Amino acid sequence: MLPIRLDVSRDTTRLSLGVGSEDTELTAEGVDRLIQHLAECRAQMSPVHPADPPDDPSRVHQSDNLLWRIKAAPDRAAIQFATQHPGLGWTAMWLSRAQVEDLVTSIEFELVKVPETR
């Protein structure tokens, strides 16, 4: 496998991407498009991602200060649930009423294991 080099510019507006002996520069928008395209390609590959998140925290995209949005999507008979990761951007999914109810139940079930803070 060819070595991959990534360097963010001093002004943080560009990414220098090197693969083997080839180099190119990408803007933040270009990086977003590359990430989206890579994710689309990965979704077509085997092995598929497991149904449960890995126990190894280094293998999970994590962030603090979660930004999220919930919006009704009546045309889909669903709720749009979107979250933002600082490196991956916004991810949105449509949840049916049954999925939302299951999610609420799951959160309530796990919440009893978390101590209350003041």
Q: What is the pLDDT of residues 38-91, one digit of tens each?
A: 999 999 999 999 999 999 988 888 888 889 999 999 999 999 999 998 888 899
- Nearest in space to 29 (alpha carbons), one of 18, 46, 15: 15
pTM of the model: 0.77
Asked if residue 118 belongs to a domain, the reply is no
Question: Per the omega criterion (within 30 degrees of 0), is the bond before 47 cis?
Answer: yes
Tracing tokens 């990965």 back to the chain, one arrives at 42
Q: Domain count of the chain?
A: 2
Asked if residue 26 belongs to a domain, the reply is yes
Shared domain for 67 and 27, answered yes or no, is: no
Cα pseudo-dihedral 49, 52, 58, 63, rounded to 10: 100
Tell me how far apart the alpha carbons of residues 90 and 39 are, in angstroms, rounded to a whole number.
13
Domain that holds residue 16: 4-43
Q: Does residue 33 contact residue 42 with C-beta atoms inside 8 Å?
A: no
